[in-house]
Structure 1
Amino acid sequence: MEQIGGTVAPNVVSWSAVIGGFASSGDTDRALELFRRMQQQWLSPNVVTMATVLSACADLLALRLGRELHGHAMKAELERHSLVENGLINMYAKCGKVSGARKVFDGMKTRDLISWNSMLAGYGMHGLCDEALALFTDMAGATVEPDGVTFVAVLSACGHAGRVTEGRRLFDRMVRAHKITPSMEHYTCMVYLLGRAGLLRDASELVETMPVRPDLCVWGALLNSCRIHGDAAMAEATIANVLQSEDQSTGNHMLITNLYAMCGMWDESKKVRVMTKEAGLRKNPGQSWIEVDNKVVAFAAGSAPPNLTGAEDVFGMLDDLYAEMEDEQR
């Protein structure tokens, strides 16, 4: 950033490099801020800039800005570049406009693996299983070889729709026909699929037979299924496994704490919170974004703008409600 400020006449390449650096490091709101500054310098973004900022819009769910970029890409005749087209599919899908993503996808002259995966992921994240499976069939007809990302998308779609038979068939096809070694994401999808359908024993057996140590996402999928279907015994056994694992992360502890709270087991929830504190583990506050007047504003959980009138009263009311919920569960 200092180099940009010290450059006599920064061009689109230098701006794109800095914007891309912030975006790749996860600082997407800063990347968008720099893009706005770049526009104020009357510099037109190139293909790389456009793809980078579209990715940031997707992460922040900044649909209005994403649409603005789409229009700019059309005017600058950048819309037909595969990087921009794939970025548009990803942005529209993550922002919930799956039809917009499909319109871009259908209008592409040439589709690469990223194009297919982006569209499949859009269907998967929104639980559109029939559409995902149909597109997967079209992908095979186009002789495009799927990869691990492809199967994460279709398995996710099956999980949201509760399509156990199709999910199992796809998982087996991935391993046997395509020789793809299942990743943690694939196992998480399968545990979620089986657990959501009430097949908790099958889900537990899959976790036990995994060739790698289950991570937080896998345990979370199993624990959440136990909560949904009221299997307290399996939940306790799973919690014991999590606490005995080497992955004593804040995320694991928070997962267990929230599970106890959801079940109304407030004493157990507090015990785990104490364990977390004694272990010196801290949870970074969650952060969210909202788009207001075409500007993305970030805020952390439990925070409020300093000029917000009545903020103390709001948080005080939340504390009272939380205490009342605890009393009702006792």
Structure 2
Amino acid sequence: MYSVVAESCIDMLYRCRNVVHIKQVHAHMIANGKLQDLVFANKLLYTYVQHKAMDDAYYLFDGMTMRDPTTWSLMVGGFAKIGDYGNCYATFREVLRCGVSPDNYTLPFVIRTCRDRKDLRTGQAIHGAVLKYGLQMDHFVCASLVDMYAKCMLIEDAQRLFDGMPSKDLVTWTVMIGAYADCNAYESLVLFDRMREEGLVPDKVAMVTVVNACAKLGAMHRARSVNEYIVRNSFPLDVFLGTAMIDMYAKCGSVECAREVFDRMKEKNVISWSAMIAAYGYHGKGKEAIDLFNMMLSCSIFPNRVTFVSLLYACSHSGLIEEGLRFFNSMWEEHAVRPDVKHYTCMVDLLGRAGRLDEAVKLIEAMAVEKDERLWSALIGACRIHGNMELAEEAANSLLELQPQNPGHYVLLSNIYAKAGKWEKVAKFRDMMTRRKLKKVPGWTWIEVDNETYQFSVGDRSHPRSKEIYEMLMSLIKKLEVAGYVPDTDFVLHDVEEEVKQEMLYTHSEKLAIAFGLIAIPEGDPIRISKNLRVCGDCHTFSKMVSAVMRRSIIVRDANRFHHFNEGTCSCGDYW
């Protein structure tokens, strides 16, 4: 009789489709005295947790006269799954108070909660508990700690734990590769190569992580090698991998390759379409982005918030003002997508670049959503282009209230004052940065040569071929000056003599990278460079003239977009 009733209860729990069914089984188990058996009580608790009915689960848990590590683990994991972090922590603390040893099921849940909340302090305390209970070599626990430290941006701590693991499975490697992808894409790809050398075969999740790392690095040779690996190993080009590859190729400088991937995808969702629209936006192809958006609508794919951010960005970076206004106004009326701060930021950028600053300000004043730092940065950027000092100062005050510790904001305002020749105010802001121990983000430029990536900073002489690079640069400048190039010293933001300003301009990192490219990259191949900041106006003019005088194609990826220089013109139409 016991086994028949027991099997009946278990069978009923397996067949539960909703909380009402579970409660019926719960009542049946009470009537048959089965809740006195810890095994059955835990199975019922597990079923409540699986259906995310944590109030009911807690009611059952609170009335249990016996509990084992499984019971506690179910409650900790259940609260973590529904995002109830307070109860997750509280239950875990109760585990420790009751003298129950946490296991490799409970700990990963709590550690992942610390990861999701970026709660490093609690995470480190739990790491201490891991050491206390001797679980530091447990694979699941250690992998969770690696993930937690990585997401909290303590990459060195994550690396130490990773290196000390006695065995690493594919998930752990993928976590570590993804961690580096967020902060050092080059190291992420080095780690991917190491993983394959150790005999692990990546799955789709690992490949998506690697593709994302390639996108951040912007290295076309790595993008091509990853693509070849995907094709060689017959990974299906599904929505997730295909969309990641669209983004990868777009950010590596080839919107054509991105479109080829898009066209090869058998299944596309709104994210895939949005990624391709964004790709056109990065490269200043606003009309192509609009055509694709219209095609998307004709395929009965409904746009979402991300789609409109991509579309408005494309309009902004192509000077399509009226089109951008039309799409913005249609969001809610035609597509039931309510604009958020990102959409307003795109519109402020679009209107500001066009010199319609009054309209941009009116739009900001009419906003019903909370303003953020990107919105004010967009307005300040427009003020810098059009020399509106008064409005720039107002926007800067709002920006500094939001993020007083961000050095980029001080640099942005300081640059506006420098351009206006207000050196006393430049000195004031630089003094504020010094007192607050804030440092300007240094400018770097990367270039691909022979499947290697080289890095340059302003005035850099660390490259082994530095002498050749500077000789090429000086020779190049003489040729450009004959063709009419005049250095634009407005972009030297220091109060120094004109000749000194010219010398400072000549050694910008972009110019050094281009000079190296002319030496090392065969004629006919494009010179591809990436810049971590916005390219300055003088370097933009310089690149256009090099493309004409030297008959070379130059592709520049800066912090905002791509510039394709050919025969003396840029794809941005000098609108960036």
* Of 266, 278, 283, the match for 1:109: 266
Cα displacement string for residues 290-310 of structure 1 (whole angstroms, at most 9, x for unaligned residues): 445434456777877598978
Are 2:497 and 1:324 aligned?
Answer: yes
Counterpart position of 1:155: 312
Tell me how far apart the structure 1 counterparts of residues 398 and 165 of structure 2 sit (CA, whole Å): 55
Are 2:367 and 1:210 aligned?
Answer: yes
Tell me if the contact between 1:127 and 1:156 (Cα under 8 Å) persists in the aligned partners: no
Counterpart position of 1:18: 176
Secondary structure of residue in 2 paired with 1:176:
helix
Tell me how far apart the structure 1 counterparts of residues 394 and 176 of structure 2 sit (CA, whole Å): 48
Are 2:420 and 1:247 aligned?
Answer: no
Secondary structure of residue in 2 paired with 1:122:
helix
Tell me how far apart the structure 1 counterparts of residues 451 and 200 of structure 2 sit (CA, whole Å): 19
Counterpart position of 1:316: none
Give the superposition deviation at 1:13: 3.8
Give the superposition deviation at 1:285: 3.9
- Range moving further from structure 2, 287-296 or 225-234: 287-296
Structure 1 pair 153–19 and aligned structure 2 pair: CA distance change class (3 A): same
Structure 1 pair 196–108 and aligned structure 2 pair: CA distance change class (3 A): same
Tell me if the contact between 1:155 and 1:190 (Cα under 8 Å) persists in the aligned partners: yes
Tell me if the contact between 1:216 and 1:251 (Cα under 8 Å) persists in the aligned partners: no
Counterpart position of 2:229: 72
- Range moving further from structure 2, 120-129 or 174-183: 174-183
Are 2:343 and 1:174 aligned?
Answer: no
Tell me if the contact between 1:92 and 1:101 (Cα under 8 Å) persists in the aligned partners: yes
CA RMSD of aligned residues (A): 3.1
Tell me if the contact between 1:188 and 1:218 (Cα under 8 Å) persists in the aligned partners: yes
Tell me if the contact between 1:102 and 1:119 (Cα under 8 Å) persists in the aligned partners: yes
Give the superposition deviation at 1:261: 2.0
Counterpart position of 1:122: 279
Cα displacement string for residues 286-330 of structure 1 (whole angstroms, at most 9, x for unaligned residues): 5554445434456777877598978xx9xxxxxx9953349889x
Secondary structure of residue in 2 paired with 1:168:
helix
Q: How does 1:59-98 map to 2 (within 5 A)?
A: 59-98=216-255
* Of 42, 45, 51, the match for 2:208: 51
Residue type of the alignment partner of 2:209 = T
Higher relative contact order (CA 8 A, sep 6+): 1
Secondary structure of residue in 1 paired with 2:433:
helix
- Range moving further from structure 2, 66-75 or 182-191: 182-191
Tell me how far apart the structure 2 counterparts of residues 114 and 61 of structure 1 sit (CA, whole Å): 21
Structure 1 pair 328–94 and aligned structure 2 pair: CA distance change class (3 A): closer
Residue type of the alignment partner of 1:247 = Q
Structure 1's unaligned 5+ residue stretches are 314-319
Give the superposition deviation at 1:257: 0.7
Q: How does 1:231-310 map to 2 (within 5 A)?
A: 231-242=388-399, 245-248=401-404, 249-285=406-442, 289-296=446-453, 305=462
Give the superposition deviation at 1:96: 1.5
Give the superposition deviation at 1:220: 2.1
Residue type of the alignment partner of 2:340 = S
- Range moving further from structure 2, 174-183 or 197-206: 174-183
Secondary structure of residue in 1 paired with 2:383:
helix
Tell me how far apart the structure 2 counterparts of residues 100 and 168 of structure 1 sit (CA, whole Å): 30
Structure 1 pair 125–309 and aligned structure 2 pair: CA distance change class (3 A): closer
Secondary structure of residue in 2 paired with 1:177:
helix
Tell me how far apart the structure 2 counterparts of residues 302 and 148 of structure 1 sit (CA, whole Å): 43
When Rg is computed on C-alpha atoms for both structures, the one with the higher figure is 2
Give the superposition deviation at 1:118: 1.0
Give the superposition deviation at 1:268: 2.0
Tell me how far apart the structure 2 counterparts of residues 306 and 136 of structure 1 sit (CA, whole Å): 45
Tell me if the contact between 2:286 and 2:315 (Cα under 8 Å) persists in the aligned partners: yes
Tell me if the contact between 1:216 and 1:252 (Cα under 8 Å) persists in the aligned partners: no
Tell me if the contact between 1:162 and 1:197 (Cα under 8 Å) persists in the aligned partners: yes
Give the superposition deviation at 1:90: 0.6
Residue type of the alignment partner of 2:280 = Y
Structure 1 pair 260–113 and aligned structure 2 pair: CA distance change class (3 A): same
Counterpart position of 2:478: none
Tell me how far apart the structure 1 counterparts of residues 171 and 386 of structure 2 sit (CA, whole Å): 54
Tell me if the contact between 1:123 and 1:131 (Cα under 8 Å) persists in the aligned partners: yes
Structure 1 pair 302–2 and aligned structure 2 pair: CA distance change class (3 A): same
Secondary structure of residue in 2 paired with 1:146:
coil
Structure 1 pair 3–292 and aligned structure 2 pair: CA distance change class (3 A): farther
Give the superposition deviation at 1:103: 0.7
Structure 1 pair 9–296 and aligned structure 2 pair: CA distance change class (3 A): farther
Give the superposition deviation at 1:105: 0.5
Structure 1 pair 300–35 and aligned structure 2 pair: CA distance change class (3 A): farther
